[in-house]
Amino acid sequence: MNHSSVFALLLASSIYAHAAGHSAIDPAPRPDTGWKQRQASFNERVKEVGKKSQLIFIGDSITHSWENDGKEIWAERFAKYDAINLGIGGDRTQHVLWRLDNGNLEGLSPKAAVVMIGTNNSNGEDNTPEQIADGVRAIVEKLRTKLPSTKILLLPIFPRGENPNPQRGKILQVNQILQKIVDDKNVLWVDFGHKFINEEGRIPRDIMPDFLHLSPKGYQIWADSLQEPLAKVLGEK
């Protein structure tokens, strides 16, 4: 094979790879029964609440666990808005994209959507920072299309791991890219990840017991950090 043929083959492969996209932006359901059941329960919940809901949360296990370690804070701070928790443990951006097209937003018109997703895409070599940011961007774009009157409160992916580590660095790179899709009008950046880290750069166990998922203290930090931007979006003093 001559040089021109090799170049043509490489170019074709590159074009195909670009056209095919990557896993973080390819909407996909998960096969496990628990996931299917929770997805179905979301669809029932949104049918029940409908346009009464002023607030939705979208994410993975960290959002999911508002129902566990964050339960009391949720009841105090968000239940009054008929808030809906659309978090599923283990979800990646591609799973959220699929859910948003398959019932999770049906009939909703909330004033605000809190979005925090992508930490599961950051494991190992599964996705690059650019790909993870692509996935989050695709979710934001889908929300803007399906819920044009909803303000999106976009959260950076939270830090993880007790001490500074390569995965934290990868997440920081994603967050730097994500800030570029914020317009301060329809998509707002709400950054408080630094509150989970102490002066030595460590994540305290009383905030994240496993250095990934939040304790009640961690959920209190989240709720307090949302208070001002959420009040503005909801038109509260």
Q: Which two tokens stand for residue 167?
A: 């995965």
For residue 12, name the pLDDT band (cuts at 50, 70, 90).
very low
Per-residue pLDDT at 1: 52
Q: Which two tokens stand for residue 16?
A: 């195909």
pLDDT (tens digit per residue) in 125-183: 999 999 999 999 999 999 999 999 999 999 999 999 999 999 999 999 999 999 999 99
For residue 237, name the pLDDT band (cuts at 50, 70, 90).
confident
pLDDT (tens digit per residue) in 35-94: 999 999 999 999 999 999 999 999 999 999 999 999 999 999 999 999 999 999 999 999
Query: Tokens 């909407």 identify what position?
Result: 27
Buried (b) or exposed (e) across 110-147, using 16+ Cβ within 10 A?
bbbbbbbbbbbbbeeeebbbebbbbbbbbbbebbeeeb
Catalytic member of 101, 183, 210, 224: 210
Average the pLDDT over 219-227 and give the result.
98
The ranges assigned to domains in the chain are 3-234
Q: Is 98 left (phi over 0), alpha (psi -120 to 50) or beta?
A: alpha
Is residue 213 among the annotated active site residues? yes
Catalytic member of 61, 82, 109, 191: 61
Q: Which two tokens stand for residue 24?
A: 């973080």
Average the pLDDT over 195-223 and give the result.
98
| Region 3-234: CATH code | 3.40.50.1110
Catalytic member of 53, 91, 95, 213: 213
d(CA 193, CA 121): 18
Strand partners, 109: none
